Amino acid sequence: MMAGWGVLAAAAVGGAAWAVRGRSAQLLAPSIWHGNRGRRAVALTFDDGPSAGTAEILEVLREAGARATFFQCGLNVERRPDWAAAVSAAGHEVGNHTWTHRRLDFASRGVMRDELGRTQAVLTAVHGAPPRWFRAPFGVRWVGLGQVQRELGLMGAMWTCMGRDWKLPAAAIAERVLRRVENGAIICLHDGRGVDEEPAIGETVEAVRMITRQLRENGWEMVGLSHVN
C-alpha cells in the first residue's frame, strides 16, 4: 500500500512539474510551442533584450532577409528605449518578457500582474502598440498566470528548440539549432542575459549569422511568431 502511495505521489509531482515547465502544457496558462508543421518556415525568437548587441543581431537578420520576435524585459527597455525601438522599426515583432526577468513560480497573482503589466505599458509606449505575445522567464508558468495573460491580451509562447546560447560557443549553438529545425519550429535564442546591463552576446551574434545563412541556403522562411502558423 505504501509503495502505491509513493507511485501516486511521484506521478503528482511529475504532473505538477510538467504543468509548470512542460513545453506543450496548457494547464496554468495558454501558450504555443510549435507552428504549422505543413509549412517550411521557422520562427526565430530572442529573449532578454534589448542590449548593446541587439543592433548586431538586427543587422544579421536584415542581411538574411529574416524576421523575428524579440521578447523584451521592461527594465531593459526603460534603460534604453532607443535600443528597444530599433527592433520594431526594423519590422520585427515584440513580446513581453516581464519587468525583471524573475521566475514566476510561487509568485502571487499581484506580482505577476505587476511584472507583466508594467512591461506591457512600457512596450506599448515605445513600440506604439501592445504586444500580443508573452514568454515566461525560464519557461516557468504558475497558478494565476493564465488570468493575468487574459487581462493583458497576451498569448504565451514556449519553444521547440532552445539554443542554450548563454553557455555554448557559436558553432555549438548553431549545430544544436540546425539539427532541430523542422516545419513550424520555434527557435529560442537571447539578445541579452536577464537584466544584466552589459551582457556578452558575441557568441549568439555569430551563431545567428551561421544559422540564418544555412537556413536561407536550404530554402527556409524565417518569420516572427505571428506568421509561423
Instruction: Tell me which of 10 and 128 has the higher pLDDT.
Output: 128
Tens of pLDDT, residue by residue over 33-68, are: 999 999 999 999 999 999 999 999 999 999 999 999
C-alpha grid cell, residue 118: 508594467
Contacts of 99 (CB under 8 A, 6+ apart): 73, 74, 75, 114, 115, 116, 118, 119
- The answer to whether the CB of 28 falls within 8 A of the CB of 179 is no
The answer, yes or no, to whether residue 179 has pLDDT greater than 60, is yes
Give the residue extent of every domain in the chain.
2-227
Type of residue numbered 154: L
- The answer to whether the CB of 189 falls within 8 A of the CB of 47 is yes
Q: Which CATH superfamily is domain 2-227 in?
A: Glycoside hydrolase/deacetylase (3.20.20.370)
Tens of pLDDT, residue by residue over 94-142, are: 999 999 999 999 999 999 999 999 999 999 999 999 999 999 999 999 9
Mean pLDDT, to the nearest integer, of 202-229? 97
Q: What is the pLDDT of residue 229?
A: 85
Q: How far apart are CA 193 and CA 102, in angstroms?
A: 12
DSSP string, 119-157: HHHHHHHHHSS---EE--GGG---TTHHHHHHHHT-EEE
The answer, yes or no, to whether residue 14 has pLDDT greater than 70, is no
